Copies of this chain bind each other. A is one copy, B any other.
Amino acid sequence: MSYQMKGLLYEGKAKKIYETDVDDIVIIEYKDDATAFDGTKRGIINEKGIVNNKISNHFFKLLESKGIPTHFIEQIDERRTAVKKVEIIPVEVIVRNIAAGSLCKRLGLEEGTALKRPVLEFCYKNDALHDPQINEYHILALELATEEEINKVKEYSFKINQILREYLKEVNIDLVDFKLEFGRYKSSIILADEISPDTCRFWDMNTKEKLDKDRFRRDLGNVEEAYKEVLKRLGL
């Protein structure tokens, strides 16, 4: 099927969202822009948009095949994908298997410490408040989601972790942590946004080399190469 691209609905830090001629379908366009540390660090990662579009669609198709409902419809071209238009729940879900990044600072853990159990965190997606960490009671009190929706989001998130972890193990990648966004579509909850080296921490299982946005955040060099290495390992 083909969709006619209409007006720009929203331009975010990494993607643009366009309306289409179909009411509940939008087109995501992946940019090369990279930001970090609450938008204070900015840069370009060459061809990131192309790589992330491919990687994210690959994961979304995998997840759909394993029973996770997602917004994915079809890839349109190298940077663009048609997806179901959702009402985004303004809560980011982070799932962690290995301590890294902000968790280490907050809890005094050494980067690389394996967590005894996967840790799920919620952040209030609110730039003005700098995406504060919240819990289920905050979500309910602020009426960001219902209890039923929270339970679905948790169930899907842990299942996604299991699916991706096993899958990435086969290509010698540790899934350290990742961020998800969910949305409401026709009165059900589906996975939206993206899953890519921008939103995950991927480590080579043997060398522990970082294959994700931490290379940009921490100026580790070979950022573009790391993103393409993930693409290659996924056979894309």
Flag whether A107 is at the interface (Cβ < 8 A): yes
Question: A124–B117 Cα gap in the complex (Å)?
Answer: 17
Question: A108–B142 Cα gap in the complex (Å)?
Answer: 11
**Contact flag A135-B138 (CB < 8 Å), given A107-B129, A129-B106, A129-B108:** no
Interface residues of A in 103-122 (CB under 8 A from B): 106-108, 115-122
Contact mask for chain A residues 30-64; partner B; CB cutoff 8 A; 1 contact, 0 none:
00000000000000000000000000000000000
**Contact flag A121-B135 (CB < 8 Å), given A116-B141, A141-B116:** yes
Flag whether A5 is at the interface (Cβ < 8 A): no
Nearest Cβ on chain B to A144's Cβ, whole angstroms: 10
Question: A37–B143 Cα gap in the complex (Å)?
Answer: 30
B129 touching A141, Cβ below 8 Å: no
User: How many copies altogether?
Assistant: 2
Nearest Cβ on chain B to A132's Cβ, whole angstroms: 5
Question: Chain A: residues with CB nearer than 8 A to chain B?
Answer: 106-108, 115-122, 124, 126, 128-129, 132-135, 137-138, 140-143
> Which B residues touch A118, using CB under 8 A?
137, 141
Question: A107–B135 Cα gap in the complex (Å)?
Answer: 12
B116 touching A137, Cβ below 8 Å: no
B106 touching A119, Cβ below 8 Å: no
* Contacts A/B (CB < 8 Å), 16 sampled: A106-B129, A107-B129, A107-B138, A107-B142, A108-B126, A108-B128, A115-B141, A116-B142, A116-B143, A117-B141, A118-B137, A118-B141, A119-B138, A119-B140, A119-B141, A121-B137
Q: Can you add 14 more A-B contacts, CB < 8 Å, to A107-B134, A121-B135?
A: A107-B124, A107-B129, A107-B132, A108-B129, A115-B141, A116-B142, A117-B137, A119-B140, A119-B141, A120-B135, A120-B137, A121-B137, A121-B138, A122-B135
